[in-house]
Amino acid sequence: MSTTAHAHAHGHGDDEHNPFLAHHFDTMGQQAGAAKLGMWLFLATEILMFSGLFLAYFITRLFYPEMVLEAHEQLSKIHGGVNTIVLLTSSYTMALAVRSAQTSNTAGIKRYILMTMACGGIFMVVKYFEYSAKFEHGLLPGRYYSAHLHGLHIDGLPHIFYAVYFMMTGLHGIHVMVGLGVMAWIYVRANRGDFSATNYAAVENTGLYWHLVDLVWIFLFPLLYLVK
């Protein structure tokens, strides 16, 4: 099959000699298509994983509306709001990094990837301060909950609410950190000159992953911090 394909693919001399074309693909476009389909399938599993936590939130809210209302007042709208802006900005710079790759602009990829990583870093720093404040007030999940020892009494099951809060934001935070690692790898590869308009599936897929992290936060923020 491979030899037949090569014999006929005269229009795409570029593909035949592209060092990034794996031998089991015929063209760079086909290779990128397979990579992207795999990424979308992975994102599907990510969405399903987070959906379990969202469901846990909705059930808690359905059963204990007053408790959720009272407990969510303890979360910092300022921290949440700043992180929302930071993460949306990072999604924007990530989209521009992918666009730079599409136009073979290596300097652009590197610049925008660094900006995206900076935003991810700010997000984690804000998260650190936010979590520290929760720890100090004993607003912790499950049996670690001790806010009643700090003069705060919330009726109902606040330790369940904080379990949901820490699981959702914690899993999301882990995704942010993984994203930072992947972007560092993209930066190194961009620096090496690996990416061009014909080979940028890695940048594109990293972008898709990062946008998913943003998407999760778009729903987390109003649900946990804002909604009454």
Partner 1 sequence: MSKTYLNGKAIDGFHEVHEHVSPISLYNKIIAVLFVLTGLTYAVSFADLGAASLTVAMFVATIKAALVIGYFMHLKYDDRYHLFVFAGTLIFVSIFFGFTMFDLQARTALNDEQETFMRIRELESSGAGPKLGVDNVPERAEKIRQEIEAHGGGHGGGHDAGHGDAKAAAPTPAAGTAPAKPAEHAPGH
Distances (CA, A) of 53 to 45, 88, 98, 157, 161: 13, 22, 30, 17, 12
Footprint (CB under 8 A) of partner 1, residues 67-106: 73-79, 81, 84-85, 88-89, 91-92, 94-96, 99, 102-103
SS3 170: helix
* Shortest distance in whole angstroms from residue 130 CB to partner 1: 8
* Shortest distance in whole angstroms from residue 219 CB to partner 1: 5
C-alpha dihedral (69, 73, 74, 76), degrees to nearest 10: 130
* Shortest distance in whole angstroms from residue 120 CB to partner 1: 15
Number of Cβ atoms within 10 Å of the Cβ of 129: 11
- Minimal CA–CA distance to 76: which of 1, 16, 3, 129? 129
142 binding partner 1? (CB under 8 A): no
Question: What residues form DSSP beta bridges with 196?
Answer: 199
57 binding partner 1? (CB under 8 A): no
15 binding partner 1? (CB under 8 A): yes
Structural contact between residues 94 and 188, judged by C-beta atoms closer than 8 angstroms? no
Q: Which stretch binds partner 1 (CB under 8 A): 37-45, 117-125, 174-182, 185-193?
A: 37-45
Report which residue type is found at 224: L
* Shortest distance in whole angstroms from residue 185 CB to partner 1: 20
143 binding partner 1? (CB under 8 A): no
Q: How many residues bind partner 1 (CB under 8 A)?
A: 82
Footprint (CB under 8 A) of partner 1, residues 163-192: none
Q: Which two tokens stand for residue 85?
A: 């802006």
